[in-house]
Amino acid sequence: MVSSGSVSFKDVTVDFTQEEWQQLDPAQKALYRDVMLENYCHLISVGFHITKPDMIRKLEQGKELWTTEKIFQSQSYLGESV
């Protein structure tokens, strides 16, 4: 595998539309939460210095992710704007 640069948090996330999110069952939403939190923790553990995204805060608190059209809208990752 050829490396083309560093990995950002956005590289290890999945972006659902609100409609797609609503079609997930509770087990799938729980799996998403677990995987996103694990990915974030792994990036932090290898030295990435990023502000905790709002999405991660919401997942940790068990809050609903949907307040905008997309989960990651207006979110920045390691200085990159979406």
Report the residue count for the chain: 82
Both tokens assigned to 16? 């659902």
The pLDDT of residue 28 is: 92
The answer to whether residue 29 sits within a structural domain is yes
pTM (2 d.p.): 0.64
Beta strands at 76-77 and 80-81: parallel, antiparallel or unpaired: antiparallel
Confirm whether 7 is domain-assigned: no
Domain that holds residue 39: 17-81
**Structural domain tally of the chain?**
1
pLDDT, one tens digit for every residue, the chain (82 residues): 545 567 777 887 888 888 888 898 999 989 998 998 898 888 888 887 777 888 888 888 887 776 444 445 444 444 443 3
pLDDT of residue 48: 78
Residue 4 inside a domain? The answer is: no
CA atoms of 82 and 73, how far apart (whole Å): 7
